[in-house]
């Protein structure tokens, strides 16, 4: 086998310029695909991390049908204390869940005693919320990061619009589920940086304050946000959780709970899908580049070596061996291209990381581009290149293997 590889290598470099040109195309293709995957993957990962870790969480549990009406923040569709207890029991029994946070979401009026505007608020247990969405506190631009009773975290845009600062007193007025209006004076504890996506411009109050404003005797929860220990196993955990909660039925015999991953909740998922689609198209381009490059080299190789093929066939080389020899040439070219491309990709990714290129996305500025490529993805790309190389060599190799030795020997 080593001899056949050696011969294949020499045959490949018989026409150095042509082979190097085709090889460089493959290398550029691999470089482009891995570069694209690393950069977009990094962007995607960072954005998903931002969204899930700063306000959405990895998953959310709602009362069935709540999410469809979430724009109105309907208090009538909150989970009753009994249902919340059942959900918590399930969550505590699942070691895959790292943390969860109960939220009372409601809409109200925000007044600085001079002006009034609308606000969307989350009533949370600060400790549970920080464990579930650990980047929330990193969004605090001004003020104390600990949310205390009697305080409100105001989103940046609203604070600017209403000209409120940390320490100012404001009033939040809301209508509860029975239609009664109630208000409470709160101190601005912190100004929160806005985040991209729904919920990214919500304010936060303590759960007890939310209950007081909404005149709840016991917490009626709008959603339970969850954080899993291993994000890579999100869908597996989602399936288990959904199955575990499916046994809870209401009086009509219908499920009480609805579970969604962040993908159903955040519109960024569609951007992520679009990135995946673009990656797929880039991969298809790579396949086309490899296919055309190697086919070109191998077709020419067969065309230029007809007499040689006739000779090796005449001396007794089996057709399948001739086929294998030409396939080996294509495979070798693909493998060399994949290896060089992978090495250069690694170097390029390292260089981009070292350059610490920053970019803006939505209202988030100064995000650092930190491209990484999973070795498994690199192996997959190399596998695709090598597989396509063999495929591209197949037709020329078959032609060589089927060649009639007499005709081939007589070729001029």
Residues lying near another protein in the complex (CB under 8 A): 3-4, 7, 10-11, 14, 307-308, 310-321, 325, 405-406, 409
Strands (E), 7-95: 59-63
For residue 199 the two structure tokens come to 């919920």
Q: How far is CA 107 from CA 23, 78, 184, 231, 267, in A?
A: 61, 14, 14, 31, 21
Report helix, strand or coil for 339: helix
Q: In terms of CB distance, is 157 or 409 closer to another protein?
A: 409
Place of tokens 């979430």: 70
User: Minimal distance in Å, beta carbon 398 to another protein?
Assistant: 14
Q: In terms of CB distance, is 1 or 93 closer to another protein?
A: 1
* Residue closest to 204 by CA, chosen among 129, 153, 269: 153
Report helix, strand or coil for 370: coil
Q: In terms of CB distance, is 24 or 311 closer to another protein?
A: 311
Terminal Cα-to-Cα distance of the chain (whole angstroms): 31
Q: Quick one: CA dihedral 70, 151, 140, 219, positive or negative?
A: negative
157 close to 171: Cβ distance less than 8 angstroms: no
Q: In terms of CB distance, is 12 or 265 closer to another protein?
A: 12
User: Minimal distance in Å, beta carbon 323 to another protein?
Assistant: 12
For residue 106 the two structure tokens come to 């409601």
Q: What span, in angstroms and rounded, lies between the C-alpha atoms of 219 and 153?
A: 20
For residue 137 the two structure tokens come to 């506190």
Q: In terms of CB distance, is 12 or 373 closer to another protein?
A: 12
Q: In terms of CB distance, is 282 or 325 closer to another protein?
A: 325
User: Minimal distance in Å, beta carbon 298 to another protein?
Assistant: 16
Q: In terms of CB distance, is 182 or 317 closer to another protein?
A: 317
* Residue 50 φ then ψ, to 5°: -60, -45
Q: In terms of CB distance, is 104 or 322 closer to another protein?
A: 322
User: Minimal distance in Å, beta carbon 281 to another protein?
Assistant: 39
User: Minimal distance in Å, beta carbon 2 to another protein?
Assistant: 9
User: Minimal distance in Å, beta carbon 316 to another protein?
Assistant: 2
Q: What span, in angstroms and rounded, lies between the C-alpha atoms of 72 and 123?
A: 16
User: Minimal distance in Å, beta carbon 377 to another protein?
Assistant: 36
Q: What span, in angstroms and rounded, lies between the C-alpha atoms of 35 and 42?
A: 10
- Annotate 102-132 with b (16+ C-beta within 10 A) or e (fewer): bbbbbbbebbbeeeeeebbbbbbbbebbbeb
What is the Cα 287 distance to its own chain's centre? 24
Cβ neighbours of residue 123 closer than 8 Å, sequence gap 6 or more = 103, 104, 105, 106, 204, 205, 206, 207, 209, 210, 211, 214
User: Minimal distance in Å, beta carbon 1 to another protein?
Assistant: 10
User: Minimal distance in Å, beta carbon 396 to another protein?
Assistant: 18
User: Minimal distance in Å, beta carbon 12 to another protein?
Assistant: 10
User: For 327, which DSSP code?
Assistant: H
Q: In terms of CB distance, is 244 or 317 closer to another protein?
A: 317
Q: In terms of CB distance, is 258 or 329 closer to another protein?
A: 329
Give the largest CA-CA distance in the chain.
101
């Amino acid at each position: 086998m080593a001899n056949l590889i050696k011969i294949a290598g020499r045959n490949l470099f018989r026409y150095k310029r042509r082979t190097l040109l085709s090889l460089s195309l493959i290398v550029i293709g691999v470089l482009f695909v891995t570069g694209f995957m690393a950069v977009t993957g990094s962007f995607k990962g960072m954005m998903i991390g931002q969204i899930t870790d700063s306000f959405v969480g990895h998953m959310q549990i709602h009362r069935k049908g709540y999410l469809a009406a979430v724009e109105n923040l309907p208090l009538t569709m909150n989970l009753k204390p009994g249902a919340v207890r059942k959900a918590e029991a399930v969550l505590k029994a699942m070691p895959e869940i790292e943390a969860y946070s109960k939220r009372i979401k409601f809409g109200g009026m925000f007044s600085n005693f001079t002006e009034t505007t609308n606000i969307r608020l989350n009533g949370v247990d600060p400790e549970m919320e920080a464990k579930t969405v650990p980047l929330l506190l990193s969004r605090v631009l001004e003020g104390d990061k600990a949310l205390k009773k009697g305080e409100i975290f105001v989103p940046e845009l609203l604070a600017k619009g209403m000209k409120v600062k940390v320490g100012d007193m404001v009033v939040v007025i809301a209508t509860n589920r029975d239609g009664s209006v109630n208000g409470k004076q709160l101190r601005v504890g912190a100004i929160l940086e806005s985040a991209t996506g729904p919920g990214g411009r919500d304010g936060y109050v303590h759960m007890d304050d939310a209950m007081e404003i909404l005149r709840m005797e016991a917490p009626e929860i709008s959603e339970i946000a969850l954080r899993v220990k291993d994000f890579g196993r999100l869908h597996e955990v989602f399936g288990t959780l959904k199955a575990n909660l499916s046994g809870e039925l209401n009086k009509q015999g219908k499920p009480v709970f609805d579970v969604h991953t962040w993908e159903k909740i955040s519109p960024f998922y569609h951007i992520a899908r679009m990135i995946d689609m673009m990656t797929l198209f880039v991969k298809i381009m790579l396949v086309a580049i490899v296919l055309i490059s190697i086919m070109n080299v191998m077709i020419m190789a067969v065309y230029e070596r007809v007499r040689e093929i006739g000779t090796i066939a005449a001396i007794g080389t089996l057709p399948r061996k001739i086929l294998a020899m030409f396939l080996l040439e294509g495979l070798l070219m693909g493998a060399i291209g994949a290896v060089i491309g992978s090495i250069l990709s690694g170097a390029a990714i390292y260089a981009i990381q070292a350059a610490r290129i920053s970019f803006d996305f939505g209202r988030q500025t100064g995000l650092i581009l930190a491209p990484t490529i999973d070795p498994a993805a690199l192996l997959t790309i190399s596998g695709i290149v090598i597989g396509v190389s063999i495929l591209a060599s197949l037709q020329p190799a078959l032609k060589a293997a089927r060649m009639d030795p007499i005709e081939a020997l007589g070729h001029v």
